[in-house]
Amino acid sequence: MRDLFFYGTLRHLPLLEIVMGAAASALDLRQAVLPDHAVLAVQEGPFPMIRAQQGANAKGLLLRGLTDEQITRLDFYEGSFAYDLRAVTLEDGEQAEVYFPQPGQWTAQDPWSLADWEADWAAISCHAAREVMGYLGVRDRDAVARMFPMIRARAASRVNAAASRHGAGTMQGRIEVAAQERAYSRFFALDDIRLRHERFDGAMSGVLDRAVFIAADAAILLPYDPVRDRVLLVEQMRMGPFARGDRACWQLEPIAGRVDAGETPLQAARREAREEAGLTLGEIETVAEVYASPGNSTEFYYIFCGLADLPDSITGVGGLETEDEDIRSHTLSFDALMALVEGQGAANAPLVLAAFLLARHRDRLRATA
Q: Which residues pair with 290 in a beta bridge?
A: 301
Rounded to an integer, what is the distance from CA 33 to the centroid of its chain?
Answer: 34
What letters, b where the CB count within 10 A reaches 16 and e where it falls short, cover 197-227? eeeeeeeeeeeeeeebebbbbbbbbbbbbbe
CB count, 10 Å around CB of 278? 11
Catalytic residues: 323
Q: Are 218 and 293 in contact (CB under 8 A)?
A: no
Q: CA angle, 306 as apex, 301 and 307 as ends, to 5°?
A: 175
- Cα separation of 61 and 274, whole Å? 43
Q: Which of 160, 166, 301 is nearest to 222 (CA)?
A: 301
Rounded to an integer, what is the distance from CA 139 to the centroid of its chain?
Answer: 20
3-state secondary structure of 47: strand
CB count, 10 Å around CB of 65? 10
Q: Are 263 and 361 in contact (CB under 8 A)?
A: no
DSSP 157: H
Q: Are 131 and 77 in contact (CB under 8 A)?
A: no
What letters, b where the CB count within 10 A reaches 16 and e where it falls short, cover 109-121? eeebebeebbeeb
CB count, 10 Å around CB of 12? 20
* Run of H or E residues at 245: none
